[in-house]
A = this chain, B = another copy of it.
Amino acid sequence: MAQVDPVFEAAPELEIAAWLNTPASLRLANLRGRVVVLHAFQMLCPGCVLHGVPQTQRIHDLFAHDEVQVIGLHTVFEHHEAMREASLKAFLHEFRVTFPVGIDRHANGDGMPLTMARYAMRGTPTLILIDRKGRLRAHRFGQAEDMAVGAQIAQLVAER
């Protein structure tokens, strides 16, 4: 009798207004076969600046890029005027962030951006893991420990 995989939810596609740190746009649909680490942050969120962003950079530095695609998602849902693209660019430069970052698109007005809403995120920082088949495998709001994050990503990498 055939082994049936557990059923996981498909990860919703990203809605990005602009990309930084990457020559080309990224789409989840094109990343099948790789593990995707999606880190939602705001450049003026202390938990992101002090913990989430440096942790995500460590993920980007540790794992092979043909196995694991790290994506930062700038999900501005407050202080919109304070975190425009020019400020984000300077932030990424000064804090030496080298992984691709997409600016989450707003439909209209200044509320929660589209990707953030699709994923029903509760705030920032949020860490989301998507497996090689494009399925949501982890969704964590707040701080996660490096060892557990490293182990969970490696486990997804090991799935063939």
Point out which of A154, A157, A158 has the most chain B C-beta atoms below 10 A from its C-beta: A154
Residue A147, interface by CB 8 Å: yes
Stretch from A5-13, A14-22, A87-95, A102-110 forming part of the interface with B: A87-95
**CB within 8 Å of B: which of A17-63?**
44-46, 49-50, 55, 58-59, 62-63
Q: Measured between C-beta atoms, what is the minimum distance from A87 to chain B in Å?
A: 4
CB distance from A19 to the nearest CB of B (A): 18
- Which residues from chain B contact A55 at a C-beta distance below 8 Å? 147
A86 contacts chain B at the CB level, 8 A cutoff: yes
Kindly state whether residue A83 has any CB partner on chain B within 8 Å: yes
